[in-house]
């Protein structure tokens, strides 16, 4: 292929007009962009191909590392450790309800004190002081508030908003967006640009005017400010703004509706409101009560779309009519004990947001990265159960203070990205030995370097070569031997060391030193971690560890064990898998005997004619021969089958294909 004879056509939407326009205006191939992509691909392969074998030797087989995925795991691990190190502190916030001095005025003004008390006694003393206090509105401020719409979607903002509003995983969002793009409903979904074409701006204004009125229309041009952004594409938008709905199924329709709303809202007028702040002074006190409220005077873009937030939304309420220096009466006041909150764990949306803020990777790769770190078991998506605690509430009413306790659940989170023990150990090893590669700045700076190559300001071969000459000596210097486990102590009975570590069977505890003893292993149970398990917990696991004898049946022991393909019952030379979903530690002797009897019945032929046998199988009755197994028709009665009929089935049909067993997922 000769460069002079090769042209490139560019289109951002699969429509007849866009494709015809692209064909009429072909472009030359930008070799700088090709070089930048080549540099990114080669550097990623160097990191992945060099680091992954190191992890196989140091941690366990089957692991992978990557320039971006390893940094994503680091973000999640460090967030978890930040939460573990967090220590909550309590304070008392004061809430008060006031009514006007006129008994006929029943409207209530709820306020909060502009100070919190660290100790219960201080909060109670303050409530007692309110019984003799006088209250007056000391200040009223009203100011207009203008809210502007969010820009149209980029890849990362679409992923974040679909996760918040539609609860879609990032991978699902990209899969649905790909389908909408291929069907010609939306523009290209891998973009970090917020620009809209002139055609999109014009048609959006027409739709807004027709649907909501001319006062709602306001044409806006947005510009990308995110780190390392490339504005080669348009923002994600419907190809035809006049199409209010599109999609082959309900999920596609919901995502299209979100994209349409966001695009239309970006071209609408500001929302206007009036925010009111009322301050209530307390005689002889340096603190004051404050109430805030907001009244929307023109909804603007909010009529169509309001961007969601990871933070708690501010309460917007209408305050009762009050006048400056108006006297108030205290109806009730409460001192409510509250606790500081630990940082929130990442979900897929907040992880995408953080990676984009740091300039790590490209938005088009985030879905694959999040999927990969879950696939290799560095991270799992799950929920965290909350814990109970009691809070104190002091209430002042009619001059009397009463106290009550209230139970609350704290710390519960759903659909969060949680680091596994494997993820933590792998991350700690990489951070300790490859601090530059795992640095947030390094990963972001490499992206900037790729941008310089794309602009023709750097040579891609020199860039990659410089990186490799610094990276390869570090890889070569890593000593052999597995990552040391965590020593929990020694077994009081044998004196052998007890170690928490990662092994071929996953997170486990080891009794004995592999160099001097033949160690025993016990897998960790659900909810246990290598980083928090105690010596006592580990010794308990060994007492319950598999294999263990459940009892004796006839002349043979019935043994419960766990192997490469999962837990099993061993009876003589027969191995029977424990049904999927059953906790092996809960299996009783009676259940094991039942499984053995079922296996024996299944292996006892209904008929036997030399090499031909008729048996009851797990998936139906079948004929077993040296050449293979032949499934019986469902209407055939196996008990009444004759030898001639069996031979006829064998002669007129093919044996069932042998099923390959790939092992059992734990």
pLDDT tens figures, 392-437: 999 999 999 999 999 999 889 998 999 999 999 999 999 999 998 8
Across 569-595, average pLDDT: 83
| Region of poorest pLDDT, from 97-111, 141-155, 163-177 | 97-111
Q: For the chain, what is the mean pLDDT?
A: 88
**Rounded distance between C-alpha atoms, residue 386 and residue 345, angstroms:** 13
- Span 86-107, average pLDDT: 87
User: Predicted confidence band at 663 (pLDDT cuts at 50, 70, 90)?
Assistant: very low
Q: State the pLDDT at residue 321.
A: 83
Answer whether residue 590 shows pLDDT above 70: yes
Element (H, E) at 143: strand 135-147
Question: What pLDDT is stored for residue 564 in this prediction?
Answer: 66
pTM of the model: 0.77
Residue 417, token pair as written in the block: 């990205």
**Rounded to 5 degrees, what are φ and ψ at 57?**
-80, -35
The answer to whether residues 476 and 483 touch, using CB atoms and an 8 Å cutoff, is no
Residue 588: pLDDT above 90?
A: no
Cα-based torsion angle of the residue sequence 42, 43, 44, 48 in order, rounded to the nearest 10 degrees: 100
Structure tokens at 318: 């209408």
Arithmetic mean of pLDDT, 307-325: 72
pLDDT at 343 over 90: yes
The model's pLDDT over 613-652, given as tens digits with 9 standing for 90+, comes to 888 776 788 888 988 899 888 888 888 899 998 988 988 8
Predicted local distance difference test score (pLDDT) of residue 104: 64
Average pLDDT, stretch 465-489?
A: 90
Supply the DSSP string of 369-405, one letter for each residue.
HHHHHHHTTSEEEEEE--EEEEEEEEEEETTEEEEEE
Of the pLDDT bands very low, low, confident and very high (cuts 50, 70, 90), residue 660 is: low
Give me the phi and psi of 300, to 5 degrees please.
50, -130
Region 326-351 average pLDDT: 94
pLDDT band at 58 (very low <50, low <70, confident <90, very high): very high
CA separation for the pair 176, 171 (Å, rounded): 9
CA of 127: how far to CAs of 52, 336, 403, 496, in Å? 63, 11, 12, 61
Q: Name the residues annotated as catalytic.
A: 188
Does residue 166 have a pLDDT over 80? yes
- For the ranges 161-175, 320-334, 645-659, the lowest mean pLDDT is seen at 645-659
- What is the pLDDT at residue 300? 94
Tell me the pLDDT tens digit for each residue of 42-53. Answer: 998 999 899 999
Higher pLDDT, 592 or 254: 254
Query: Which tens digits make up the pLDDT trace of 201-236?
Result: 999 999 999 999 999 999 998 876 554 445 457 899
Q: How confident is the model at residue 587 (pLDDT cuts 50, 70, 90)?
A: confident
pLDDT at residue 444 is higher than 90: no
Share of the chain above pLDDT 70, in %: 94
More confident residue, 143 or 639: 143
Query: Which domains occur in the chain, in start order?
Result: 3-84+421-476 (1.10.460.10), 155-269 (1.10.290.10), 486-543 (no CATH)
Question: Under a CB-based contact definition with an 8 Å cutoff, are residues 179 and 249 in contact?
Answer: no
Q: What is the mean pLDDT of residues 459-487?
A: 90
Nearest to 478 by CA among 52, 184, 43, 90: 52
Q: What is the mean pLDDT of residues 446-475?
A: 90
Asked whether the CA dihedral 176, 181, 186, 187 is positive or negative, the reply is positive
Q: Residue 665 — pLDDT band, cuts 50, 70, 90?
A: very low
Which of 281-285, 578-582, 603-607 is most confident?
281-285
Determine the Cα–Cα distance for residues 51 and 74; give it in Å rounded to an integer: 15
What span, in angstroms and rounded, lies between the C-alpha atoms of 278 and 20? 61
Q: Is the pLDDT of residue 346 over 90?
A: yes
User: Residue 102: its pLDDT value, please?
Assistant: 72
């Amino acid at each position: 292929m000769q460069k002079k004879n090769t042209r490139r056509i560019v289109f951002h939407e699969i429509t007849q007009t866009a494709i015809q326009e692209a064909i009429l205006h072909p472009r030359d191939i930008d070799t700088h962009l090709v070089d930048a992509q080549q540099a990114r691909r080669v550097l990623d392969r160097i990191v992945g191909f060099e680091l992954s074998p190191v992890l196989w030797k140091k941690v366990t087989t089957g692991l992978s590392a990557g320039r971006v995925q390893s940094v994503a795991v680091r973000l999640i691990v460090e967030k978890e450790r930040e939460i573990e190190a967090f220590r909550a502190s309590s304070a008392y916030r004061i809430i008060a309800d006031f009514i006007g001095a006129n008994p006929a005025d029943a409207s209530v003004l709820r306020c909060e004190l502009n100070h919190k008390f660290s100790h219960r006694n201080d909060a109670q003393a303050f409530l007692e002081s309110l019984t003799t206090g006088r209250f007056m509105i000391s200040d009223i401020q009203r100011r207009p508030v203008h809210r502007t719409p969010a820009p149209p979607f980029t890849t990362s903002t679409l992923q974040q908003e679909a996760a918040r509003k539609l609860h879609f995983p990032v991978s699902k969002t990209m899969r649905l967006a790909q389908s909408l793009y291929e069907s010609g409903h939306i523009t290209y979904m891998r973009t970090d640009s917020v620009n809209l074409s002139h055609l999109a701006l014009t048609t959006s204004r027409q739709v807004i005017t027709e649907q909501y009125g001319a006062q709602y229309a306001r044409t806006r041009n947005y510009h990308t400010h995110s780190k390392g952004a490339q504005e080669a594409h348009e923002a994600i938008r419907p190809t035809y703004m006049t199409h209010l709905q599109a999609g082959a199924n309900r999920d596609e329709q919901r995502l299209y509706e979100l994209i349409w709303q966001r695009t239309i809202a970006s071209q609408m007028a500001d929302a206007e409101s009036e925010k009111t702040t009322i301050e209530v002074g307390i005689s002889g006190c340096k603190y004051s009560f404050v109430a805030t409220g907001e009244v929307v005077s023109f909804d603007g873009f909010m009529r169509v779309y309001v961007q969601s937030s990871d933070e708690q939304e501010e309460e917007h309420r209408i305050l009762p009519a009050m006048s400056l220096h108006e006297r108030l009466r205290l109806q009730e006041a409460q001192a409510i004990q509250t606790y500081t909150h630990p940082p929130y764990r990442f979900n897929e949306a907040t992880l995408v947001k953080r990676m984009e803020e740091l300039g790590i990777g490209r938005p088009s790769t985030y879905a694959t990265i999040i999927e990969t770190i879950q696939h290799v078991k560095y991270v799992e998506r799950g929920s965290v159960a909350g814990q109970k605690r009691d809070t104190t509430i002091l209430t002042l009413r009619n001059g009397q203070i009463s106290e009550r306790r209230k139970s609350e659940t704290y710390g519960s989170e759903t659909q969060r990205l949680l680091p596994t023990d494997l993820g933590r150990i792998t991350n700690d090893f990489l951070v300790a030995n490859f601090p530059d590669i795992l640095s947030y700045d390094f990963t972001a700076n490499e992206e900037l370097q790729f941008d310089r190559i794309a602009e023709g300001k750097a040579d891609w071969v020199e860039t990659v070569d410089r990186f490799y000459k610094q990276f390869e000596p570090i890889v070569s210097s890593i000593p052999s031997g597995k990552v040391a486990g965590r020593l929990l102590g020694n077994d009081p009975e044998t004196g052998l060391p007890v170690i928490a570590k990662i092994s071929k069977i996953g997170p486990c505890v080891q009794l004995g030193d592999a160099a001097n003893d033949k160690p025993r292993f016990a897998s960790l149970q659900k909810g246990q971690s290598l980083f928090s398990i105690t010596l006592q917990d580990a010794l308990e696991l060994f007492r319950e560890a598999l294999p263990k004898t459940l009892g004796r049946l006839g002349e043979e022991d019935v043994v419960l064990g766990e192997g490469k393909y999962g837990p099993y019952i061993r009876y003589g030379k027969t191995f029977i898998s424990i049904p999927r979903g059953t906790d092996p530690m809960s299996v009783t002797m009676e259940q094991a005997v039942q499984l053995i009897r079922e296996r024996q019945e299944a292996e006892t032929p209904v008929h036997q004619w030399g090499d031909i046998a008729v048996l009851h199988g797990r998936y139906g009755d079948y004929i077993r021969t040296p050449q293979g197994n032949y499934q019986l028709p469902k209407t055939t009665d196996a008990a009444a089958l004759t030898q001639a009929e069996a031979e006829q089935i064998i002669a007129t049909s093919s044996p069932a294909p042998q099923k390959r067993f790939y092992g059992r997922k734990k």
